[in-house]
């Protein structure tokens, strides 16, 4: 068995890298649905259909536990999957809850009533589908009160990153941050609610200014997974082969992944 990390494309590599550094002995299967990226402009039914198809393939590759490293899939499909699709012996976890626990300084499993937290004005940058789902605000409301969230749908950024056009991505980030600041001039914290955005973290920080704390998911999700596996070690199991799979062109995806992670990455056809 191995732990699966799913994303619509290359963005989940930020989470994959964080998990690999935190849990070097756990075999990981990465699955990028590059043929169907971006997910962020699709409707919820489409995202559900694509995500379940991909996760099923990951089970065939020996993953009993799959992390939806994709915020869009976590926001638009995870709850429906957990309610009536995931078999008893498998687990599918998302990335929103660890992020919100970090933002609200809560430990895993702290189910106490929502309370006041330090951050009051949060800027959420995410895909159009994630923003439309309001999943972030819903999960936050279970844990915190008095937090004003302003969400900015960042159209185009994922496509630019998938195409390796980081100059365009940076220009788009700067215009999305400007748009956000027109609605919320002084956020205390910014959440990069899409796994592709950490590749542009410096651009977000530069546009937001040094006083805004930028939360990105890689380390937060890795830590939360490490914690989960201490409680549920059976979800790793013995053996398992690490591999990177894509529904896209393996050569092109391997080249982009190598460029982004600055280390050799080899993808095979899913
Ligand atoms: N990287 C994904 C996310 O975290 C989705 C990007 C996309 O495919 O639109 O939201």
For residue 126, the ligand 1 atom closest to its alpha carbon is 10
Domain boundary residue, one of 178, 200, 215: 215
Answer yes or no: is the C-beta of 70 below 6 A from any ligand 1 atom: yes
Answer yes or no: is the C-beta of 198 below 6 A from any ligand 1 atom: no
pLDDT of residue 239: 59
Please count the structural domains in the chain.
Answer: 2
* Contacts of residue 34, Cβ cutoff 8 Å, sequence gap at least 6: 8, 9, 10, 162, 246, 247, 248, 249, 253
Instruction: Clarify whether residues 101 and 211 are in a common domain.
Output: yes
CA angle 244, 239, 22 (to 5 degrees): 60
Answer yes or no: is the C-beta of 158 below 6 A from any ligand 1 atom: yes
pLDDT of residue 222: 93
pLDDT of residue 110: 78
Atom 8 in ligand 1: residue holding the nearest Cα: 38
CA angle 4, 81, 215 (to 5 degrees): 60
Instruction: Clarify whether residues 24 and 53 are in a common domain.
Output: yes
**Is 130 in contact with 72 (CB distance < 8 Å)?**
yes
Instruction: Clarify whether residues 188 and 102 are in a common domain.
Output: yes
Answer yes or no: is the C-beta of 39 below 6 A from any ligand 1 atom: yes
pLDDT in tens, the chain (270 residues): 799 999 999 999 999 999 999 999 999 999 999 999 999 999 999 999 999 999 999 999 989 999 999 999 999 999 999 999 999 999 999 998 899 988 888 877 778 889 999 899 999 999 999 999 999 999 999 999 999 999 999 999 999 998 889 999 999 999 999 999 999 999 999 999 999 999 999 999 999 999 999 998 888 999 999 999 999 988 876 557 899 999 999 999 999 999 989 999 999 999
Instruction: Clarify whether residues 30 and 73 are in a common domain.
Output: yes
70 a catalytic residue: yes
Centroid of ligand 1 to alpha carbon of 157 (angstroms):
10
Answer yes or no: is the C-beta of 38 below 6 A from any ligand 1 atom: yes
- Torsion sign over Cα 2, 25, 91, 267: negative
Instruction: Clarify whether residues 193 and 251 are in a common domain.
Output: no
Residue environment code for 225-242, b if the CB has 16+ CB neighbours within 10 A, otherwise e:
beebbeeeeebbeeebee
CATH of the domain at 242: 3.40.50.1860
Q: 149 has which bridge partners?
A: 122
Sheet of strand 148-153: strand arrangement: 148-153, 121-126, 189-192, 213-215
pLDDT of residue 237: 62
pLDDT of residue 96: 87
Mutate to test the pocket of ligand 1, among 34, 76, 196 (most ligand atoms within 8 A of CB): 196
Peptide bond into 38 cis (omega under 30): yes
Instruction: Clarify whether residues 140 and 211 are in a common domain.
Output: yes
Instruction: Clarify whether residues 109 and 195 are in a common domain.
Output: yes
Instruction: Clarify whether residues 101 and 209 are in a common domain.
Output: yes
Instruction: Clarify whether residues 130 and 44 are in a common domain.
Output: no
**Is 159 in contact with 38 (CB distance < 8 Å)?**
yes
pLDDT of residue 79: 93
pLDDT of residue 40: 92
pLDDT of residue 13: 94
* Contacts of residue 47, Cβ cutoff 8 Å, sequence gap at least 6: 39, 72, 73, 76, 77, 129
194 a catalytic residue: yes
Instruction: Clarify whether residues 115 and 194 are in a common domain.
Output: yes
Instruction: Clarify whether residues 204 and 119 are in a common domain.
Output: yes
Domain boundary residue, one of 215, 237, 261: 215
For residue 196, the ligand 1 atom closest to its alpha carbon is 1
Instruction: Clarify whether residues 102 and 187 are in a common domain.
Output: yes
* Distance in angstroms (rounded) separating the CA atoms of residues 241 and 82: 26
In terms of C-beta density within 10 A (0-12 exposed, 13-18 middle, 19 or more buried), how is residue 176 classed? buried
| Dihedral over alpha carbons 143, 148, 150, 151 (to 10 degrees) | 10
Range of the domain at 256: 3-94+218-269
For residue 69, the ligand 1 atom closest to its alpha carbon is 4
Domain boundary residue, one of 199, 215, 231: 215
């Amino acid at each position: 068995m191995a732990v699966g990390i799913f994303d619509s494309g290359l963005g989940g590599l930020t989470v994959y890298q964080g998990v690999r550094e935190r849990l070097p002995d756990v075999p990981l299967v990465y699955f990028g649905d590059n043929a169907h990226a971006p997910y962020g402009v699709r409707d919820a039914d489409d995202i559900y259909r694509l995500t379940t198809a991909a996760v099923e393939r990951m089970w065939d590759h020996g993953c009993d536990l799959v992390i939806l490293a994709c915020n869009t899939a976590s926001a638009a499909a995870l709850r429906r999957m957990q309610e009536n699709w995931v078999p008893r012996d498998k687990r599918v976890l998302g990335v929103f809850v660890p992020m919100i626990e970090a933002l609200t300084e809560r430990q895993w499993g702290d189910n106490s009533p929502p309370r006041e937290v330090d951050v009051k004005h949060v800027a959420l940058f995410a895909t159009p589908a994630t923003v439309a789902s309001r999943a972030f605000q819903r999960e936050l409301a279970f844990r915190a009160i008095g937090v004003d969230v302003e969400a900015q749908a960042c159209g185009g950024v994922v496509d630019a990153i998938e195409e390796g056009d980081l100059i365009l991505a940076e220009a788009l980030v700067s215009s999305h941050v400007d748009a956000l600041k027109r609605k919320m001039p002084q956020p205390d914290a910014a959440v990069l609610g899409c796994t592709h955005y950490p590749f542009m973290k410096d651009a977000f920080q530069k546009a937001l200014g040094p006083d805004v704390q930028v939360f990105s998911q890689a380390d937060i999700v890795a830590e939360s997974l490490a914690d989960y596996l201490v409680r549920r070690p059976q979800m790793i199991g013995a053996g398992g082969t690490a591999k990177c799979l894509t529904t896209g062109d393996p050569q092109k995806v391997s080249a982009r992944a190598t460029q982004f992670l600055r280390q050799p990455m080899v993808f095979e056809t899913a």
